[in-house]
């Protein structure tokens, strides 16, 4: 089950310092992958053009990964439509194994 990021500031900071990325190419919207590791928030720090690229980037990091959007340099949570696309990616990329019971 996906959870909304309750503390986006924590997900986009390191030891309380806001992480800012400066890019040569001015994009108004990009996506970043993130995950938790030993109770710390980590980011891939890549500027992905779409959700799937960001998800593929952080997928190998383990089960506690997520993607967030960065719009005009400000991190934000995914919209409902973006969240639905990411859910579809999760279902297709890592389908749940169903236990088969005896009838």
What are the sequence ranges of the domains in the chain?
27-93
44-77 residue pLDDT tens: 989 999 999 999 998 877 778 899 999 998 999 9
Which residues, 6 or more positions from 8, have their beta carbon under 8 angstroms from its beta carbon? 68, 75, 76, 77
pLDDT in the model for residue 28: 87
From the CA atom positions of the chain, what is the Rg in Å?
A: 15
Higher pLDDT, 84 or 25: 84
| Distance in angstroms (rounded) separating the CA atoms of residues 103 and 36 | 41
- Compare 26 and 57 and report the one with higher pLDDT: 57
Distance of alpha carbon 4 from alpha carbon 68, whole angstroms: 10
């Amino acid at each position: 089950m996906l959870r909304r990021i309750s503390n986006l500031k924590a997900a986009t900071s390191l030891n309380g310092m806001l992480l800012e990325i400066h890019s040569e190419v001015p994009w108004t919207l990009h996506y970043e992958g993130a995950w938790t590791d030993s109770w710390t928030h980590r980011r891939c720090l890549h500027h992905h053009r779409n959700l799937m690229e960001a998800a593929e980037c952080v997928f190998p990091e383990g089960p506690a990964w997520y993607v967030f959007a960065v719009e005009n340099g400000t991190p934000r949570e995914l919209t409902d439509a973006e969240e639905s696309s990411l859910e579809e990616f999760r279902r297709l990329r890592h389908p749940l194994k169903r236990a088969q019971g005896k009838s």
